Structure 1
């Protein structure tokens, strides 16, 4: 029997992983005896090792030489989805070197487990082999007693905390489920007590975005940022000195929880810690601890993850804090009426993003209404009988019916574009939580619906407030002083909202949440997030498909941002527009980084090849302080 893979199997493999090269797909099928299912499973587990990240020749150092070794190991680990964490682990005695775990039978991910027998080693082996995704691990852990899981998930395997193995997979979904079911984000390893967040930063990820999300997830579930010396992230928007902060800045280095952070470790932290990660550490360190009662209310109502809402978006610390506070009061009182919020603020400043992240953390279905396309009541909610089409309802009508009696979110974007007709229809569901199904006239319970009305109508007052209170809002850590100012702003916004939308509607609003403009430092972080998205996009494999619509021309590219705080500040210095927010920053990154990068990349080669070598770029600032994109040859 021939061992040459069939074209049909290669095509099916590439359908599952379109960014994989044809040669790699063929190799996997050959290694695993043309067993398509097994080859795909093994590729999934090994994929994080297959995208090479070469060193930059213009910045040679001992640590970069080690990174070169790390690249070769990760690029050539085809044979085993259980490849050891080599590279940095191999040359650094202080870095945990996780052992290879045996790979169990794949049925572990599909067959219901014995709820009385928990095999941690087997489970971790299966996770590292790629047998589990977030949904499967959630179902698997759901078979076990919640009270027992905390102990079971936090045992050690061969001397290493279980969560270290999970972090090493770079799978954010699995890490989230592990933490939700009781995994300890503050677990430590070794005599110097290397913390989980320290391991996650040093371990890194396939991309900056992946590494950033891993750290943010740990922080969101309660990892203590103070195990990292404060000088590494406060202030966050600066380029760290070569070799790390100077000793005069490291006033907390002798704390017992920082014994792991030796001079050698600090040097490597400086190299790998990105602006986004410094921002996440900074922001987490400023959050006031929540009381036991607050945590219990949220946990019992299935909203425990909302405590980490501040880690989900850039800026809007005040908006997230007010949203958490209002939600706590609403849930604690067990009110049998809708929760109605107004997100007020200029375009591009996080209203939609916060609504989506809020829904994600509460595990709620979210329905987005684009209010610019609905002028009449029957357009948004559907016609009543006997009008034509009443039996079909509308998207919003059918969503409310499907979610009857359950908590869900309706996000109405650009609410100021709606009509008086629509406002009047919303009065009854806003007041009593009752809604009439337009298809049959049946009364539906929507008392648990969370309504979020996003509007730009109050922008002038918000801009004026930010200009008048810049020092307290952007440069003070006094939350009480900030809240007093914002309460005064909200009183003004309520009056304006009433003037624009009428007393009947405004009288049913639970709270107005103001979204403020970005500080210069926050704008820089948003630029960095956009650069991380760009890196994730261009690192994918080049692919020439049978269907040219599926071609990937721009790929096999590695980006390094030198002096990321300086670069991102330079991008936003003159480009951030307070009226359009993040959109103006995204456009600036496209003009100043993406376009010159792609232009140089296209000029660099004669043809596209799925196995073409990596093209490396450095993003930096020139002597005039302008952003430059440099091809590394």
Structure 2
């Protein structure tokens, strides 16, 4: 199935934890995962995991797939492959298991010691990882991550748990979002799903909205609300996202084509609509899940549409709330986040109108990044801006670039300011 057998053979034979056995002697239950990882192609890794041909916790030779990836210095896309494994359920606790992550000196006979100390390879320990990889592995290993995932574990929305390996930070946003989706999965709510993502720029609102439909493998239509001039314009608007498949369908046609089916409508920059009256036509579909898209035409079933609005409403409120906490340097707590959710509704009501807000399922404010999150964002920027960075730069090199970029972080610009700072650092290195 996979083309890069030569890359696999080379990666395996040069790997520090192998004895260079012939290819036919490798004993793995699902060898296609090994081929996918060694091909250095994250899409092939996703493909084999999605197909079910292999599991993310299968062994690759003497190691877990996660340990094999972390200790393989021949990979140019190690961070992305690690994220893919974690997104599909790789268990980071395997890194602490000597049977699944033997030390370089361990012999097969000596790998059974469950009671003795485990000298795991440095690359698989937090201090041996770059800030981005360390962030994702630590996040996947946390109790809160597992508990949050359980909210929608058995529902249609389960694939959305993978978004935490695309979106850095916003753990409380995801928890509250999953709670809302869980209620709908259990039919505890009959109203349509309407979620407003609000707060400062550069903190992941558009990224979450964009990933929503693709992770669920359902159609998405994105409306750029700044282009609307009247109520009629909403239904006649074309999808404006460069990340979606090109389409000649208007929103009305999109909803007709997907009537009674799960689909996503993203209303980007909802508060920037020129005439607030353009939002009036959302009142009925948001409350009843049906409406007439044209005067005199039949009502269309919109009950399964997921409406996602993005907005900068409450931008200043978010920073004021976070700065007013007893210790702003500490991560925000669940109780503090819920308090912020309550505080965010009045500004939305003032901007969009109380009648529209009353039909919104939940308002989710996006919050400033923690230090670890900023470091992870900057590290990912290093990889995205530098060819073969994971082969030419050590985790310590990446961390040094990250630390120099951090002072240039601008909270109101979020991740964009870190990308710019890293870019400037790399230019200075040339």
TM bucket, shorter chain: 0.7 to 0.9
| CA 1:439–1:428: 2 relative to 1, 3 Å | closer
| CA 1:485–1:306: 2 relative to 1, 3 Å | same
Determine if the alignment matches structure 1 residue 585 to structure 2 residue 418.
yes
Select the residue among 4, 7, 18 that pairs with 1:95. Answer: 18
Identify the residue that residue 489 of structure 1 maps to in structure 2.
340
Which aligned pairs between 1:9-28 and structure 2 lie closer than 5 A?
none
Deviations 1:261-315 (A, max 9, x none): 646x3268789732211111111122433499745532xx2x3222333222111
**How far, CA to CA, are the matches of 2:354 and 2:136 in structure 1?**
40
Q: Per-residue deviation at 1:161?
A: 3.2
Aligned-residue RMSD, C-alpha: 3.6
**How far, CA to CA, are the matches of 1:439 and 1:532 in structure 2?**
52
Identify the residue that residue 7 of structure 1 maps to in structure 2.
none
Identify the residue that residue 528 of structure 1 maps to in structure 2.
379
Q: Per-residue deviation at 1:393?
A: 9.6
**How far, CA to CA, are the matches of 1:564 and 1:257 in structure 2?**
35
Please tell me whether the aligned partners of residues 83 and 100 of structure 1 are also in contact (alpha carbons under 8 angstroms): no
Q: Per-residue deviation at 1:189?
A: 5.2
Which aligned pairs between 1:211-360 and structure 2 lie closer than 5 A?
211-229=78-96, 256=114, 262=119, 265-266=121-122, 273-288=129-144, 289-290=146-147, 294=151, 297-298=154-155, 301=156, 303-333=157-187, 335-360=189-214
Determine if the alignment matches structure 1 residue 515 to structure 2 residue 366.
yes
Q: Per-residue deviation at 1:175?
A: 2.6
Q: Per-residue deviation at 1:424?
A: 0.7
**How far, CA to CA, are the matches of 1:356 and 1:452 in structure 2?**
10
Aligned residues: 404
TM-score by length of 1: 0.57
Identify the residue that residue 219 of structure 2 maps to in structure 1.
365
Identify the residue that residue 446 of structure 1 maps to in structure 2.
302
Please tell me whether the aligned partners of residues 82 and 100 of structure 1 are also in contact (alpha carbons under 8 angstroms): no
Identify the residue that residue 45 of structure 1 maps to in structure 2.
3
Please tell me whether the aligned partners of residues 216 and 311 of structure 1 are also in contact (alpha carbons under 8 angstroms): yes
| CA 1:161–1:470: 2 relative to 1, 3 Å | farther
**How far, CA to CA, are the matches of 1:394 and 1:90 in structure 2?**
52
Which aligned pairs between 1:168-187 and structure 2 lie closer than 5 A?
168-182=38-52, 183-187=54-58
**How far, CA to CA, are the matches of 1:164 and 1:292 in structure 2?**
27
Q: Per-residue deviation at 1:442?
A: 3.8
Identify the residue that residue 381 of structure 1 maps to in structure 2.
235
Ranges in structure 2 where 5+ consecutive residues have no aligned partner: 98-102, 105-110, 238-246
Q: Per-residue deviation at 1:560?
A: 2.3
Determine if the alignment matches structure 1 residue 160 to structure 2 residue 84.
no
Please tell me whether the aligned partners of residues 274 and 564 of structure 1 are also in contact (alpha carbons under 8 angstroms): yes
**How far, CA to CA, are the matches of 2:48 and 2:406 in structure 1?**
37
Please tell me whether the aligned partners of residues 166 and 175 of structure 1 are also in contact (alpha carbons under 8 angstroms): yes
> Quick check: which has more Rg, 1 or 2?
1
Ranges in structure 1 where 5+ consecutive residues have no aligned partner: 1-40, 47-80, 102-156, 231-242, 245-252, 384-391, 540-556, 597-628
**How far, CA to CA, are the matches of 1:205 and 1:422 in structure 2?**
54
TM-score by length of 2: 0.82
**How far, CA to CA, are the matches of 1:382 and 1:267 in structure 2?**
53
Please tell me whether the aligned partners of residues 260 and 302 of structure 2 are also in contact (alpha carbons under 8 angstroms): yes
Determine if the alignment matches structure 1 residue 201 to structure 2 residue 57.
no
| CA 1:314–1:584: 2 relative to 1, 3 Å | same
Q: Per-residue deviation at 1:169?
A: 2.7
**How far, CA to CA, are the matches of 1:168 and 1:496 in structure 2?**
51
